[in-house]
Chain A
Amino acid sequence: MQTVFERPKSLTDHPFHYCPGCSHGVVHRLVAECIDELGLRENTIGVYAVGCVVLGHRYFNMDCIGAAHGRAPATATGIKRMDPEKTVFTYQGDGDLAAIGMAEIVHASARGENITVVFVNNGIYGMTGGQIAPTTLLGEITTTSPYGRKASVEGYPIKVAELLAQNEGSAYIARTSVSSPAGVIQTKKAIKKAFQVQQKKLGFSLVEVLAACPTNWGRAPVEALKWLDENMAVYYPVGEIKVKEA
């Protein structure tokens, strides 16, 4: 019998702790598939952030390290600089990367740090229970913006991919969405390309993945994906934002 579908070697068989309808499981799998297909598992070091991915070491089947909140790009920098032949990636959420970790991500990008960042943007703090994030859309109600996000109070949502694309050091910046099968395929292509950019030592690579958080959005899983398409993907357009050729 021919095996047509199996768990990637870069994922363990540990069941995910994620909520129903959460996109993390899909994105984990895509990262693992890309690493497998590029034959990088035994040469890769994963850096997972604080937040919903805090148990990342249970799922990623490779050497990995848990970073402090927002500091994954700095930790990844330390690893990559000491051991430039390793493939190093960070896996971060939007609260982690775009709020507390904004300095670290901007400077990793500006330095052209040869790492790959998988940035899962669901527009909310998940693990802490649904607080406003820098990426939360205007009008959205969260536990710490109970009257809806107002530009006059919390300012505007940050477009991370566009922001980082300005840096010379950024070699590949893309935004994708996992709201549909086509989006999942696009996301996988982008993540793979990001790892290839790292392999070619072209500089900093980041894929911003628009993702759903049904639990904290207060929307059922299918409804959440529809809302993502109709709202998040409008404010955060998908596509390749920067592609630096060798």
Chain B
Amino acid sequence: MKGNEALAEGAIRAGCRGFFGYPITPSSEIAEYMARELPKVGGVFLQGESEVASINMVYGAAATGKRVMTASSSPGISLKQEGLSYIAKAELPCLIVNISRGGPGLGAIQAGQSDYFQATKGGGHGDYHLIVLAPSSVQEMMDFTMESFELAEKYRIPVMVMADGTMGQMMEPIIMRETVEEIPVKPWALTGCKGREKNVIDTFHSSGEELEKYDQILARKHQVISDSEKRGEAYQTEDAEIVVVAFGLMARIVKKSVDLARKQGIKAGMFRPITLWPFPYEMLDEASHAAQQILSVELNQGQMVEDVKLAVNGRVPVSFYGRISVLPSPEEILQQIVAFVRKEKGSYANGI
């Protein structure tokens, strides 16, 4: 199954009954799949007149308490940021998918990871976070999507699944997951005030004191998520002298590079953050306990590397190797690993 389709099917199996989107490469298959399949299960598909309209449709749709989502790709996700800020402030659960490409500007339609800052450090205006999950297989495209709705409802927070364009387009066999039958009832939802006080969903405060009080509640929620939802995958890190950090599809390539390095007798390992926010700082610190060098490999000019540095807090030197919208081969990354081990300077400054 294709990554984008596995994601869309996962959403339907998780009980998503509303999709509001706008076409953009390389995410369009998700909208196309939903347009075809959602009506069959009594769901709503609507192509909005813009990304801006689509995310505000999600805002209204999520307010009804149903499971809803949108999907787009980097330039489109930029347009959605205002709406995302409102959704985060209104604490409405929903799923946002970014099948990311290279940027800035219109960039290129090929895979990119240059939206890391935007996804993990807020994106829109104001103090907020999204939970950001980064799948690295088609199976995870389905699984993480299904899980997103649970996380979104558990914490009343928008969740983003961020996968690069190649993840969306590639095909792999997967195991289909069971359909979720019961969706929790939301007492806060806008359903008409019959037999109860009215429900209000609003993001404005008329005094600074009121806003501060509310934002502190939001901050505490972020702290709870940070304490309980960090996830990462460590591969061959037990005795690794060099740990390569990568997320999403890049982690797949890096795993292969680690295997190649091990064959040459180099003690290499890989760490993959699965939640990009909250970033698994402590897990990475632990996974790199034997390391003398850490290398962050990304499809951008160096974004996650800042979190990698925070994770080890100066304990281990951290370097960066990046490509932009061009996937490196396992051998290319192997060269970087070998260069470090031989204490030679690789072309790791930017990689281009």
Interface residues of A (CB under 8 A from B): 41-45, 47, 54-55, 57, 61-68, 71, 74-83, 86, 103-104, 106-107
Contact = CB atoms under 8 A, between A and B. Distances in A.
B18 A81 contact: yes
Contacts of A82: 17-18, 44, 60-61, 64, 66, 68
A205 B17 CA distance: 26
Contacts of B201: 64-66
B4 to A, nearest CB: 23
B83 A68 contact: yes
A222 to B, nearest CB: 30
Interface residues of B, number: 40
A114 B209 CA distance: 39
Contacts of B66: 82-83
A66 B199 CA distance: 12
A38 to B, nearest CB: 14
B63 A65 contact: yes
A61 B198 contact: yes
A78 B203 contact: no
A137 B286 CA distance: 67
B220 to A, nearest CB: 23
A65 B190 contact: yes
B57 interface: yes
A113 to B, nearest CB: 10
Contact of A66 (B57, B82, B193, B202): B202
B192 A78 contact: no
15 contacts: A43-B192, A45-B190, A55-B206, A57-B200, A61-B198, A62-B193, A62-B198, A63-B193, A65-B202, A74-B53, A74-B57, A81-B44, A82-B60, A82-B64, A104-B53
Interface string B192-215: 111100111111101000000000
Contact of B49 (A44, A83, A103): A103
Given A42-B192, A43-B192, A103-B50, A78 B82 contact: no
